[in-house]
Amino acid sequence: MSTGSRLVIVGVLVLAVGVAVALRRDDAPSSTAASASAAAALPRLVDVGADKCIPCKAMAPILEELRQEYAGRLRVDFIDAWKYPDQAAPFNVYGIPTQIFFDPAGRELHRHLGFISKEDILATWRRLGFSLTPGEKS
């Protein structure tokens, strides 16, 4: 068997494995969908970043403040795209940090790439029709 034939066979095998993995990922139940149903009827902010990315590190205290101040009114999740690429993949993120705003039904409403302040996050929720205030349900 010639070297060219071996390369073609190896290439076909690599492609077949890639397709099989992609198909399995699409057929597998999404942990995102399962966790969305667990937090019934809450708008959700997902921040896809990495704990070693400088703008992502700047987002961490903001996300924690939102998580605490709006508990029971807003779900705030962080996914480390470098540590858990399989969890980040369904969000189709091309740069980090990316914040994705979801309505209570799990529909994506808006996405933002880069650092965003707490005030801008809350303003975005208001523009999207959610008046989130600490201590009150939306």
Query: Are 53 and 97 in contact, with CB atoms under 8 Å apart?
Result: yes
80: β partners: 49
Is 53 a residue of the active site? Answer: yes
Tens of pLDDT, residue by residue, the chain (138 residues): 665 555 444 433 334 434 343 434 443 344 445 444 545 689 999 999 999 999 999 999 999 999 999 999 999 999 999 999 999 999 999 999 999 999 999 999 999 999 999 999 999 999 999 988 786 544
**pLDDT in the model for residue 4:** 53
Q: Which of 36, 46, 48, 56 is catalytic?
A: 56
For 72, the token pair is 């029971």
For 125, counting Cβ atoms within 10 Å of its Cβ (0-12 exposed, 13-18 middle, 19+ buried), the class is buried
**pLDDT in the model for residue 67:** 96
For 98, the token pair is 């990316």
Q: Which of 53, 58, 60, 113 is catalytic?
A: 53
Is the whole model's pTM more than 0.95, yes or no?
no
